[in-house]
Every structure is written in C-alpha cells, then in structure tokens.
Amino acid sequence: MEVVSWKYWSVAVLCLLHCLRGSDAGERRGSLRRSDFPPGFVFGSSTSAYQVEGAATEGGRGPSVWDTHSHLPGTIVDNTTGDHACDQYHRYLEDVDLMADIGMDAYRFSISWPRIFPDGRGRVNREGVEYYNRLIDALLARGIQPWVVLYHWDLPQALQDSLGGWMNREIVSIFGEYAELCFAEFGDRVKHWGTFNEIHHITFSYPNVGCRSPSGVCGDVHRQPYVIGHHMLLSHSKAVEIYRAKFQNRQRGSIGIILDAQWYEPISDLQEDINAAERLMAFQIQWLMDPLVYGHYPAIMRNDLHDRLPTFSEDEAKAMKGSFDFIGLNHYTSHYAKNDPDGPEFSKFGVELHDARAASIYAKNGVPIGPQAGSPWLQIVPWGMGKVLERFKVMYNNPLIYITENGVDESDDQGEVPAENILQDNFRIQYHHDYLGYVIGSMRNGSNVGGYFAWSLLDNFEWQDGFSKRFGLFYVDFKNGFTRIPKSSVAWFKKLLRHPKRSNHFVS
C-alpha cells in the first residue's frame, strides 16, 4: 500500500490556512489595488512566437514543426494555421503601445528558433535577429521589460527531419548553440530568460507534432514523453551552464524555466483517492522540479515507471541541481483526482493518466469543481492557485516564482460570435481578480512570488483549437486586418496598474 508523505499533509494544512485568508481578497471584486502587491512586483502579459507572429515564410524564417502540423487536414479544429496568426511581426509597435497604455511592466514572449536558425543550426538568419532587436528596443523605449523564452514548442522542422527532434540526445548540444547565440545577441538588454515553456504539457499532449511517420507517431509511446522530457531538461541545464559561465556576470540577468501545473484535489477522503491526487501532482510538478532541486527523478514515478524513466549521470545530476534563478508557473485550472488502478486505455493521448493510475474529473456528485470557461478543460477554480503555490513553498524551499501564464477564454468556434458580445468580458475580470486574490494570500503566507503575467495580450492561435478560443485582453478581428479592440478587462487592468505602487515593505 502506498504511503503519502508528510509533505502532502503539510501542503493540505497550509493551503487550508492560506486559502481562508486568500478568500477574503477573492470575494472583494474590484477591491484590488497595485499597492496590495509588494514593491517590485511585476505585471505583464504573455504570448509565444508561433501563436502571434505570423509571417511564417517572411524574413528568412524556416518552417517549424507547428507549420507542418497545422497544415495537415483535420488536425486543427477550425482548419486554421499560424501562417498569419495575429500578424505581430508587422504590428509589434502597435502591440507595444497597447501594453504601455495599460501600464504593464513586462512582456513575456518567445523567440522563434527557426527565425534565428532556419535549418535549426549552422547559418544564422540576420533578418530574424534584427526583428527581435527591434522588438526588444521598442519595449525598452516604452519602459517595458522583455522577458524572453527560448523554446515555446516551435522546433525547426529541419531538426525533426534530420535528427528525430527531441527524441535524439544530440539535440542537447544544438539547443545550447541556439541559446548561446540568443544570449550573445540579446542579453545586453534582456535580463530575464526562460529556457523552456511547459515541458510537461508538450511531452504528453504534443510529442509527435512534426512527425512525418505514416503512423503519426515517432517513437515508442510508452517511453516517448519521458525521453523527450529528459532531453529537454538536459538542454535546459546546458543553456543555464552556458549563461552562467559566459554571460550572467557581465549581463546581470537571471534565468529560469517555465512549468505548467494544475491542482488535483482528491475526490474523496479515501486514501486511494488521496494517493491518486499525489501521483498526478508528481507528474505535474515533481517530475521536473525534483531533478532541478535534487538532481534525480521522484521515487513516486521511478517506482512505477522503472527503466521507462531515464537516469542522470553523476555529472548531469550535479549540473542540473540548482539550475534556475526563478521558476515560471503557468496555472489555469484544477480538477478532482480519483484512483483508477488500471488507468485509462494506453494510447498516445492517455499516457500520463494511464501511468499515474488516476482519473481527472471535472465534477463531484454532479457539481462542477468550478464554472466552465470556453475550453472544456478549463474550470474556474481560484483556490487551486493558492494550493499549487503552497506546494512549491513546502516541497522546494520556497523558490522565487513568477506566474508566467494565467487566464481564461471564451469560445468563438467559427469566428462568428458578435464582437460586442465578447468585448464585455466581465467573467475575465472576475477570473483575474479572484486568482490574484489567492496570489496575495499566498504571499502573505510566505510564498515568494515576484510577478503575474496574463495569458494573453491578444486573442491568438491556440494550438489544436486554432482561433476558436479567445484568451486575449484584446479582441483580434482576424477577418478584418487583425484589428485589435480592447475588451472590458483592458480597462480593469489599466485601473489596477495605475493605482500607486506600494512604497514601503510588503506586510501581511
């Protein structure tokens, strides 16, 4: 029989205490002020290159795996692609002005690897380098700090075709070369770097994007997510090693990694369901955080996966431990966890739940865990934010965390919902207000949180959902010149961020 560690109960007790405090802030809609946050707390918005840039064949850019994938008939729900996305490549100055008008401190965006290295390595595309130079300089000119992510899923297709992509260990050194070029070109102005965005999500949800195999699968589905994740962790460690050895002292920046984590609440008080929740949280957080902090994978996964989970050499473990200055956290929702001894049917779409021997459930006794957003997976559960932050604090010695994505969407399946219906997004205002209330509660309870980035600045290409889901603070009219129109949430953020910043020390 499994035994749940003391850490689980510590998290549960501390979550209860802080959630009771955070609920007060979550209920006072409209009461949040900039002065509720400590000095230096960063507010910003997030996007990624493939989702907003467009210009897929312009400026010397090479194809990425998502170009290949999105052009396959039937793969994207509305049959769209990121060829034009939000056209930010041509409209970046307008978007910088929009952020400045809101009063945002920072913009988290990703660099398109194939825009820098069209073939994945070798020849540098100077047009791509100059595009990011212009974007970075425009942000700084308006007082907005660039936060740059090196990898947000758009692997150069050339590396998938020639190497097998992330399944090949050779990619570690190639990623290091790409990262070093970015540090050298942009690090004099970029002071916050993220290596990878959501290793957990990309490895379990999209491991075969860009795969040209007739079966649509490149690798053994039983091992594939863990091998890809292992090589990504090694690539992260390599990039951090290069940055710290060659750039950090003179550029005076920081580097981290961005993880995704939803909260899993046991659906009952039965020990088997508590254990199921613990296993799912291990796959969400411990799989990646344990190597970064302790240099090895968690025992709770090793005991079940055995040799399907790779191992680190002694030197790799040493380099991995402590290889971050901050952790980026992407959090949106929470679900119930229920024990499922056999797991769902093993397939390329159910590896995580099968291996965790657990079911992810949206409702208990017919009552949803939270209101339904536009996406079927996104239930609005503000208290889950507090529990995830508490878990990081208890299990990993309270690392510096930035909320690098948090947001909510509405459906617009064929782009036919009248704009006026979408522009009044009071539910989004309530969402950000309530989640921020739990962020404040966590900080007052000791969590080390340094900032909050809304996903997303713009309605954009939402991967498999195409343009059918809208997460943006700004409505983008994709049928009429990509016009940006502010939703009500823009005015709310503008009011929040224009309140005076706190000048004294943050106290509870």
If you write DSSP's letter for every residue of 460-489 in order, what string do you get?
---GGGTTSEE--SEEEETTTTTEEEE-HH
Query: For residues 259 and 193, what is the distance between their CA atoms, to the nearest angstrom?
Result: 14
Residue 256 — φ and ψ, nearest 5°?
-150, -165
pLDDT at 500: 61
Helix 488-498 crosses helix 426-444 at what angle (to 10 degrees)? 30
- CB-based contacts of 453, cutoff 8 Å, min separation 6: 42, 43, 44, 45, 46, 106, 108, 147, 402, 403, 404, 405, 406
In a domain, 225, yes or no: yes
What mean pLDDT comes out for the span 426-450?
Answer: 98
pLDDT at 31: 81
pLDDT in tens, 330-358: 999 999 999 999 877 655 457 999 999 99
pLDDT in tens, 6-49: 343 444 433 443 334 333 433 344 589 999 999 999 999 999 99
Bridge partners of 455, per DSSP, are 46
**Chain centroid to CA 78:** 23
In a domain, 310, yes or no: yes
DSSP symbols for 294-315: HSS--HHHHHHHGGGS----HH
For a pLDDT cut of 70, what percent of the chain falls above it? Answer: 91
Q: Is the peptide bond before 456 cis (omega within 30 degrees of 0)?
A: yes
CB 312 within 8 A of CB 295: yes
Helix, strand, coil percent values for the chain (each to nearest 5): 45, 15, 40
Q: Two tokens at 171?
A: 């990619």
Lowest mean pLDDT, pick from 286-290, 292-296, 495-499: 495-499
CB 179 within 8 A of CB 236: no
DSSP 446: T
- Structural domains in the chain (count): 1
Lowest mean pLDDT, pick from 62-71, 170-179, 329-338, 348-357: 348-357
225 pLDDT band, cuts 50/70/90, is very high
In a domain, 503, yes or no: no
In a domain, 184, yes or no: yes
pLDDT in tens, 85-118: 999 999 999 999 999 999 999 999 999 999 999 9
**Mean pLDDT for the chain overall:** 92
Picking from 395, 383, 390, 410, the residue whose alpha carbon sits closest to that of residue 468 is 410
Query: What is each CA distance from 315 to 199, 236, 237, 256, 318, in whole angstroms?
Result: 22, 15, 11, 20, 5
- CATH code of residue 413: 3.20.20.80
Q: Which residue intervals of 6-47 are DSSP H helices?
A: 6-27
In a domain, 508, yes or no: no
pLDDT at 165: 98
Residue 448, domain extent: 6-498
Buried/exposed code over 413-439 (b: 16+ C-beta within 10 A; e: otherwise): eebeeeeeebeebeebbbbbbbbbbbb
pLDDT surpassing 80 at residue 506: no
Active site residues: 198, 405
H or E, element range at 334: strand 334-339
In a domain, 293, yes or no: yes
In a domain, 507, yes or no: no
Q: Two tokens at 398?
A: 């309270």
Q: Two tokens at 470?
A: 């809208």
Query: For residues 64 and 77, what is the distance between their CA atoms, to the nearest angstrom?
Result: 19
What mean pLDDT comes out for the span 374-398?
Answer: 98
Q: What type of residue is 61?
A: R
pLDDT at 347: 56
pLDDT in tens, 134-159: 999 999 999 999 999 999 999 999 99
pLDDT at 171: 98
pLDDT in tens, 451-503: 999 999 999 999 999 999 999 999 999 999 999 999 999 999 999 999 665 44
